[in-house]
Amino acid sequence: MLIDTYGRVATDLRVSLTDRCNLRCTYCMPEEGLQWLAKPDLLTDDEIVRLIDIAVTSLGIEEVRFTGGEPLLRPGLVGIVERVAAMEPRPQTSLTTNGIGLRRTAPALKAAGLDRVNVSLDTLRPDVFKTLTRRDRHKDVLEGLEAAREAGLTPVKVNSVLMPGLNQDEAPDLLAWAVENDYELRFIEQMPLDAQHGWKREGMVTAGDILASLRTRFELTAEGEQERGSAPAERWLVDGGPHRVGVIASVTRPFCAACDRTRLTADGQVRTCLFAREETDLRAALRSGAPDEEIAGIWRLAMWGKKAGSGLDDPSFLQPDRPMSAIGG
């Protein structure tokens, strides 16, 4: 079991498979990209599977989410998914992606045992997409979403970040489109995860702003805390249901008290929080020949030291040293 001093138990593992990405979203990284991790520093496919197996069989992990960077860029992705889906007990598996390569890979991922996907899409307007991502790939994302739905990687969840002066007016249109296409939309408050440190609390589009905008067109009925559980998104029924919309308000409505996550970076570091400044090295233990029991013990000790909160509710919060592409969303 992965328990911390506040009694929280981690059952959800986020695994970053690569720090690389084929977009350059303004809220994540600079236009020229980043200095990527050297290949020898990255975990191999076998190392990733071994750590996940330890987490599932020895530490109580029930859900595994593959992230990046962009996880579809990982050459061995389908094989990793297949091996994880074959574990006993079998964890729930999901993937967070920008969707660009999903049209090609969705059927193979489903056949390998992937349960569902989360796809990032911030706008319905191709020109705004190009401005936000610095790439002209809007059509590819839409086709990837359709392929995921057709392959049965459901519920297909769409993650959207609203930015002042770019797409902050699109919340109602995005929700109408999601309902029409049977996607579950989740808005995410912009977080301080950009490598260029351009995030500012002042002027950000908040959960309150998003909900006020949605209510100009839809009736929203809160699901309540019992339905939410440890999920990061507060959810509302749209016009009485069955469709739902969620809002992840990491900045203005922190949900740290119910957090059930642990994170593994692409280079084999445990992070107890997306915004943690400390990391615990599992790669060195792996490569020095440590047995599973020793690695599990290192992981338990790391989680025992998890802090009470992310620190985002502190107005003086400074951005993490590592960009999101290296940590995994």
Check the annotation: does 262 bind a ligand: yes
Check the annotation: does 256 bind a ligand: yes
Check the annotation: does 58 bind a ligand: no
Check the annotation: does 139 bind a ligand: no
Q: How far is CA 292 from the centre of its chain?
A: 27
Check the annotation: does 8 bind a ligand: no
Check the annotation: does 65 bind a ligand: yes
* Helix, coil or strand: residue 141: helix
Nearest CA among 314, 318, 316, 19 for reference residue 197: 318
Check the annotation: does 261 bind a ligand: yes
Residue-wise over 208-240: b if at least 16 C-beta within 10 A, else e?
ebbbebbeeebebeebeeeebeebbbbbbbbee
Check the annotation: does 69 bind a ligand: yes
Check the annotation: does 324 bind a ligand: no
Check the annotation: does 137 bind a ligand: no
The dihedrals phi and psi of 64, each to the nearest 5 degrees, come to -125, 125
Check the annotation: does 18 bind a ligand: no
Q: If DSSP states are collapsed to H, E and C, what string results for 273-287? A: CCCCCCCEECHHHHH
Check the annotation: does 244 bind a ligand: no
Q: How far is CA 200 from the centre of its chain?
A: 21
Check the annotation: does 191 bind a ligand: yes
Alpha helix stretches (DSSP H) within the chain? 45-58, 77-85, 102-112, 126-133, 138-151, 171-181, 207-214, 225-228, 283-287, 292-304, 324-327
Check the annotation: does 183 bind a ligand: no
Number of H helices, E strands in the chain: 11, 14
Q: State how far the Cα of 195 lies from the Cα of 28, in Å rounded to an integer.
A: 6
Check the annotation: does 273 bind a ligand: yes
Residue 245: DSSP 8-state: E
Residue 144 and residue 102 in contact, taking contact as beta carbons nearer than 8 Å: yes
Check the annotation: does 133 bind a ligand: no
List the binding residues for [4Fe-4S] cluster: 21, 25, 28, 256, 259, 273
| Binding-site residues from annotation for GTP | 14, 65, 96, 157, 261-263
Binding residues for S-adenosyl-L-methionine, by number, are: 27, 69, 120, 191
Give the residue numbers of the binding site: 14, 21, 25, 27-28, 65, 69, 96, 120, 157, 191, 256, 259, 261-263, 273
